[in-house]
A and B are shown apart, each in its own frame.
Chain A
Amino acid sequence: MAADDVWILGIEMTKFGKHPDKDTVDLAAEAAMGALSDAGVTMKDMGVLAAGNLMGAGAPIGQMLQKQIGQTGIPVYNVSNACATGATALRTAIMAIKAGECDFGLAVGVEKLAGAGLLAGGSAKSDANTWEPKGRYGAVAGVDGRIGTQTMPGVFAQIGMEYGHKYGGTTFELFAKISEKNHAHSTLNPKAAYQKRFTLEEIMGDVMIAYPNTRPMCSANCDGAAAAVVVSGAKLKTLDPDQQRRAIKVAASVLTSDPYDEACQVLPNVNTLTRRGAQQAYDQSGVSPEDLDLVELHDCFATAELVHYDNLMLCPEGGAVDFFQSGATWRDGKTPVNVSGGLESKGHPIAATGIANIWEVCQHLRGEAGDRQIENARVGLAHVIGLGSACGVHILEKAAA
């Protein structure tokens, strides 16, 4: 293990779902204590804390967590980066270690979202008695619903349809089949918010939210937290053999934002920054897409999963439909994708997601994934995207035995 590598020493996620008796601090503490215990260290060892809670981004979740589990005066970074918040927190802790500021860091993401409705475009602006231009576009009345949609299911529906327009082959049924896969995978994950298998007919016949996304094809709002302890390669060498054996190498940690693109001015382009992030991650790690034993990618909607097969270069450009239809992304396929059940069934407590997907990959690389273990998994990739946009890509490798 090279001294300048960074490793995940301990990692934990809470069960995702409804936690009416726990607040964000309770959930963050449960994940953080679990990660510390998994790592075999305590808050006393931590040199940096990075924490995210998107819905409470005005409150210092990191400091609130310290009061709950241990205050030592270390630097705290409260981060907010839409759905990439968790990955951003993790990367912040990794950067502090890479900068040589400390040997151990803790990253935490937490969200309370159970029962939340549409997360954007969730309130209609009532029209005034006199038309008066307001805001950046001089709008005299509410524009959501009059000039396109601001709802996430609608935005991501268009992103999937745009792929279909460019390459062909997308149908309502195809997108529903992606959801069918992820819900089937979830039945093996006891930490998933929903573990219900749906038939294709049930998925297609469910409530339409934004064509072609029906309700089960949308990510599930829920409560949850995830946390990771990261350590420098130099320090890891001094730890005991069992800690070294279970440590997972962060072979690549990448964060990208949108480069200029003509169309991203009106519809988010989740493709370019994901492709760039993936390319950087493959270059950093020396891993190629064919090497990946499993992938957890940001299936906030079934329409999104399809485009990311292509963006992460799991298939040839334009080949995502054929790739999916080959069965490659089912858990017994060539490149299993979202064996956790994905955000559609595992759930999507926003700031927790970017660490929870890394927890899932680590479980498999450690051979500790139980019934859903992908046998002999050695390399995995975790991807998240936050609209705006921010894309996090991490490539993780099992320690050499």
Chain B
Amino acid sequence: MASKQIPLVDYLALDDGDPHLVAHECVSCGARFFDRRNACASCFATEFVSEPVATTGELKAFTIVSLAAPGIPVPFVAAVIDCDGTSVSANVINTEPDPEHVTLGMKVRLATYPIGTDDEGTEAIGFGFEPIN
């Protein structure tokens, strides 16, 4: 394991081996956002708190991308996961990318994987969701 790690995006909390996603939650109505907002898109309130997102969920939409920009390995499964009421965009990983192995409604859980190590020895960590068998 590399000495230092950095998440692929700032809403992935690595948390010493207990990785999870973090959302900005509107204090007033509970709407969740992964990026910063000046006011809530739902109720226009302006106060947010950080809340952890459930690490398990259900696949509510997916596609298997076979044609992408040069340099992006294909095929891969892009999906929307319903994590206990919070919709999350992510890849489905650690399974074959075909319609036999990936199905609507399947139960999945958050999983992380190393993307690479930079010149300073820091390892970047990505995330996806894997089937719960």
- Which A positions have Cβ atoms within 8 angstroms of B? 118, 121-124, 126-131, 133, 136-149, 151, 153-154, 157-159, 161-162, 164-165, 172, 207-213, 260, 262-263, 265-267
- Whether A158 and B91, one on each chain, are in contact in the complex, defined by CB atoms closer than 8 angstroms, is no
Q: B69 CB to closest chain A CB, in angstroms? A: 4
Shortest distance from the beta carbon of B119 to any chain A beta carbon, whole Å: 5
- Name which of A131, A153, A208 has the most chain B CB atoms within 10 A of its CB: A131
Q: Chain A residues with Cβ under 8 A from B7's Cβ?
A: 140
Q: A137-B11, A211-B64 are in contact. Are A145 and B76 (CB under 8 A)?
A: yes
Contact between chains at B69 and A147 (CB < 8 Å): no
Are A265 and B34 touching (Cβ within 8 A)? yes
- A309 to B108: give the CA distance in the assembly, Å: 31
Contact A130 to B122, CB < 8 A, known contacts A140-B6, A262-B31? yes
In the bound complex, what is the Cα–Cα distance between A304 and B99 (angstroms)?
Answer: 19
CB of A121 within 8 A of CB of B34, answer no
Known: A128-B118, A266-B87. A118 touches B69 (CB 8 A): yes
B24 to chain A, nearest CB (A): 11
Contact at A138–B10, with CB atoms within 8 Å? yes
A165 vs B103: C-alpha distance when bound (angstroms): 9
- Of the candidates A121, A128, A172, which one forms a contact with B69 in the assembled complex, judged by CB atoms under 8 Å apart? A121
With known contacts A164-B104, A210-B63, A263-B80, A129–B119 Cβ distance under 8 A: yes
Of the residues B63, B68, B126, contact of A157 by C-beta under 8 Å = B63
A267 touches B41 (CB 8 A): no
Given contacts A138-B10, A141-B8, A149-B63, contact A154 B78 (CB under 8 A): yes
Q: Among A147, A151, A265, point to the contact of B8 (Cβ < 8 A).
A: A147
Chain A: which residue is nearest B104 at the CB level?
A: A165
Among B35, B80, B120, contact of A136 (Cβ-Cβ < 8 Å): B35
B14 interface hit (Cβ, 8 Å): no
**In the complex with contacts A131-B6, A136-B36, A143-B9, A211-B71 CB distance below 8 A:** no
Q: Are B35 and A148 in contact (CB under 8 A)?
A: no
Nearest chain A residue, comparing its CB with the CB of B122:
A131
Extra contacts besides A142-B72, A145-B69 (5): CB < 8 Å: A118-B68, A147-B8, A158-B62, A209-B67, A210-B64
Given contacts A138-B9, A143-B8, whether A162 and B61 have CB atoms under 8 Å apart is yes
In the complex, are the beta carbons of A137 and B69 less than 8 A apart?
no
Q: Which of A149, A158, A213 has the largest number of chain B CB atoms within 10 A?
A: A149
Q: A123's contact among B62, B64, B69, B118, by CB below 8 Å, is which?
A: B69
Task: Please state if A145 and B73 are interface contacts (CB–CB under 8 Å).
Answer: yes
Q: Given A131-B122, A131-B124, A140-B124, A151 and B10 touching (CB < 8 A)? A: no
Closest to A145 in B: B72
Known A131-B122, A146-B126, A149-B78: A266·B88 in contact at CB below 8 Å: yes
Query: Is B60 an interface residue, CB under 8 A from the partner?
Result: yes
Query: Of B6, B8, B10, B69, which one neighbours A124 at CB under 8 angstroms?
Result: B69
Near A by CB (< 8 A), chain B positions 1-49 give 6-11, 31-36, 41-42
Count class of interface residues, chain B: 35 or more
Q: Which residues of chain B are within 8 angstroms of A158 by Cβ–Cβ distance? A: 61-63, 78-80
Closest Cβ of chain A: how far from B71's Cβ, in Å?
4
Q: With CB as the reference atom, state the residue of chain A lying closest to B63.
A: A157
Cross-interface CB contact of B60 among A131, A137, A165, A212, cutoff 8 Å: A165
Q: Does B132 contact A (CB under 8 A)?
A: no
Docked complex Cα distance between A266 and B64 (Å): 17
- Whether a CB of chain A sits under 8 angstroms from the CB of B52 is no
A172 pairs with B99, CB closer than 8 A: yes
A154 to B79, CA, bound (A): 9
CB-defined A-B contacts under 8 Å, sample of 8: A118-B69, A121-B68, A124-B70, A124-B72, A158-B63, A158-B79, A210-B63, A265-B87
Question: For chain B residues 71-96, which have a beta carbon within 8 Å of chain A?
Answer: 71-74, 76, 78-80, 85-91
Among A130, A145, A260, the most chain B Cβ lie within 10 Å of the Cβ of: A145
Q: Give the distance in Å from the alpha carbon of A118 to the alpha carbon of B74 in the complex.
A: 15
Min CB distance A256 to B, Å, is 16
| Cβ of B7 to closest chain A Cβ, rounded Å | 8
**Of A126, A130, A137, A144, the contact of B68 (CB 8 Å cutoff):** A144
**Do B79 and A148 have beta carbons less than 8 Å apart?**
yes
| Complex: A161 Cα to B61 Cα, angstroms | 5
Q: A147, B118: Cβ atoms under 8 Å?
A: no
Q: Which residues of B contact A118 (CB under 8 A)?
A: 67-69
Given contacts A128-B118, A158-B62, contact A266 B80 (CB under 8 A): yes
Closest beta carbon of chain A to B68's beta carbon, Å: 5
- Name the one of A133, A148, A151 contacting B91, with C-beta atoms under 8 angstroms: A148
Docked pose: A129 CA to B31 CA in angstroms: 37
State in angstroms the CA–CA spacing of A128 and B116 once bound together: 11
